[in-house]
Amino acid sequence: MHMDERHRRLLVKQNPQWSGGEIRTYEFKRAPFDILQKDLDHPQIIAIVGLRRTGKTVLLKQIMQGLQGNVPDNNIGYISFDDRDFQRYETASELIDYFLTFSKKDVRRYLFLDEIQKVPNWPDLLKTVYDNEEGLKVVVSGSSSLELKDSRETLAGRILTHIIPVLSFKEFVGYFGHENSIAVGSLSREYDLKFLGKKEIYLSLLEDYIRKGAFPELLDQTDQSFITRYIKESVIDKVISDISKKVKPGREDIVNDLLVVFSGNTARLFEIINIANALGIDRNTTSEYINTLEKTFLIKVDHNFTKSALKRARTSKKAYIAHSCIPIAMLEQQMGSIDGTDMGHLIETIVANSLTETGFWRSPRKDEVDIVLPGPIPIEVKYRDHIGKKDLEGLQRFMDRFDVSTGIVVTRDELELNGSIPRRILRIPVWLFLLIDQKDLKEL
């Protein structure tokens, strides 16, 4: 087998374990790590996707680190396609063949392919490897689902996809060594014993999380100017470039303007035609840009809660930026300059992104509920000092209309768990709500 000497040198450098070295990486493990470990037992390819800088490469290295000592070092292979020379189909195939040649075929082998989407026709390459190599587990990563969604037909039945979200508040709190789990069955008692005496700590952690909490590399960073620069240069600018190349090369200004629109209007309803008019582009192109922003995990689009799929498609949608720190960086806001209304939308953004399968509700009378989970479980976010009866009218009307017994108000600082039967409205501080697992909300 002939392969360019420079390529061999780079590949050996990426794999210190082949020369008896240790696989080194960060100690802090993201929440998805345990699930990924379990999926190593299945034959399918594991695909790890998510927004840039959320720790996908670190997860690959941590899985490799866990294998070292239990698997022959030559049976663990890592290839990063960030190197431009590796981003050719033929070269990628040669690199994989090099690993396979020197691995032991009678022991299970593990191949990790980082930023696989940079290789042209990579689904065909993976299909060939998967179909022809026995005892080989392949794990790949990518910065978006753009190409992964396009590969479903080629890799049908051969791939399991894991979306790595931005850091959760639960992970953020755990990183700094504080209690981050709570039993909802005895929530009031747990709150008194574990959290009440440390409430100020959690409020401070929440403030830090709002401005930098999305990305693992910013966990220990305190310089706000660096935080802003990191988010803009390492995340926003890269995604803008990716999307521009995908939709309309050379028009990065359109993507930038669209992000400015969504950053200033996160957690708000939007109409595609209004955005198209504001940007001076047609509706179809605008829709394509928005869909692509979704696929790169930079925004999340929610639909109105209704049983009619037709109504869901026709009515207004709501968009959330992936994390509050992105609009803060995008608009170069300082925490002290964010007014109460904007802070409420940033908090709703954090809450909505901490949950899955979310929608919202808006009636023809314009009654609204911020977030609706399957069940349904209605959630209203009221990040203010005083919450009056009028603030809860939409929530109460939703509960009456859909015969829901329990609704949740996510508050700034108020905890009230003794709502009236038959329509209980619970009030939970945002920092405490973010520590509750979604699956446990139905037990409240």
Average confidence (pLDDT) per 10 residues, the chain, 444 residues: 84 96 95 95 94 95 96 97 91 96 95 94 93 95 66 82 96 97 90 95 97 97 95 94 85 93 95 94 94 93 82 81 95 66 92 97 94 96 93 95 96 88 91 96 91
Give the per-residue pLDDT at 337. 62
Every domain of the chain and the residues it spans: 5-164, 169-224+302-443
Give the per-residue pLDDT at 310. 64
Cβ-based neighbours of 249, under 8 Å, separated by 6 or more? none
pTM above 0.75, yes or no: yes
Give the per-residue pLDDT at 444. 87
Q: What angle do CA 338, 342, 343 make, to 5 degrees?
A: 75
Per the CB < 8 A criterion, the answer to whether 10 and 83 are in contact is yes
Cβ-based neighbours of 34, under 8 Å, separated by 6 or more? none
Give the per-residue pLDDT at 326. 96
User: For domain 5-164, is the CATH number 3.40.50.20?
Assistant: no
In whole angstroms, give the CA distance from residue 390 to residue 406.
18
- Torsion angle of C-alpha atoms 69, 74, 80, 83, degrees rounded to 10: 140
